[in-house]
């Protein structure tokens, strides 16, 4: 698959990157998320964004405002309640199927050349606890394989005001790259699922 560089807040990311981005509060998240997706729309990328239902419409307006590049085949907004929490609970298998279907539809059926995915993980604040943390981190590890399977960049956004070390430390182990403090870093704590088998 052809390599391509894109920018997140002025920092370069590359095809196949699965990145966790840490932020504090909605304004800081939007300063990362909106330019990342707007740049994608300008370049003709498919942009997939999952946020909580309460945030969805406001973010969509921010992305579409002044943009003439965002048809329904390019900007795909979804609610966390209809994806990650469909049926009332998180299921790793269901979400991996969701992304697999999205990849086949986007690249194999529709023939798009590049995609950017962004998921605000705030929906998980009161959901991913206890034994569910292992299931969720297993999902995130498999998401790295999905990110590498197609020409795309995947960005998972975690609010440090919502999550503590019991989630943040495992999150660090399942993302190859970390965006923090304006820098995109190779993650020394990452455990590659392809090396585990």
Give the integer Cα–Cα distance in Å for 136 and 41.
30
SS3 45: coil
- For the chain, strand residue ranges (E) read 5-8, 11-14, 18-23, 46-51, 75-79, 115-120, 152-159, 177-180, 183-186
Say if domain 5-186 classifies as CATH 2.160.10.10: no
Domain ranges across the chain:
5-186
137 contacts 20 by C-beta, under 8 angstroms: no
Q: What is the pTM of this model?
A: 0.90
State residue 180's pLDDT score: 84
Q: How far apart are CA 171 and CA 19, in angstroms?
A: 10
Count of beta carbons in the 10 Å neighbourhood of residue 109: 9
Residue located via tokens 């704590």: 189
- Identify the pLDDT of residue 66: 63
Residues of the chain with pLDDT under 70: 1-3, 66-72, 194-197
Which structure tokens are listed for 161? 């005001």
Residues of the chain above pLDDT 90, percent: 45
> Can you read off the two tokens belonging to residue 62?
């921010």
Answer for the pair 97, 28: CB distance below 8 angstroms, yes or no. no
């Amino acid at each position: 698959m052809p390599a391509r560089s894109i920018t997140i807040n002025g920092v370069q990311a590359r095809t196949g990157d699965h990145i966790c981005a840490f932020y504090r509060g909605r304004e800081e998240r939007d300063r990362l998320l909106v330019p990342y997706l707007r740049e994608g729309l300008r370049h003709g990328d498919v942009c997939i964004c999952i946020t909580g239902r309460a945030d969805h419409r406001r973010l969509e307006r921010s992305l579409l405002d002044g943009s003439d590049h965002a048809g329904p085949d390019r900007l795909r907004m979804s609610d966390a309640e209809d994806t990650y929490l469909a049926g009332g609970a998180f299921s790793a298998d269901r979400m991996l199927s969701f992304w697999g279907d999205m990849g086949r539809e986007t690249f194999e059926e529709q023939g798009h050349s590049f995609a950017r995915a962004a998921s605000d993980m705030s929906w998980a604040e009161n959901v991913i606890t206890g034994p569910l943390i292992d299931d969720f981190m297993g999902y995130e590890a498999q998401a790295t394989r999905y990110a590498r399977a197609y020409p795309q960049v995947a960005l998972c956004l975690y609010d440090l005001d919502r999550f503590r070390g019991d989630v943040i430390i495992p999150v660090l182990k399942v993302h190859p790259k970390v965006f923090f403090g304006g820098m995109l870093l190779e993650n020394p704590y990452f455990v590659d699922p392809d090396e585990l088998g």
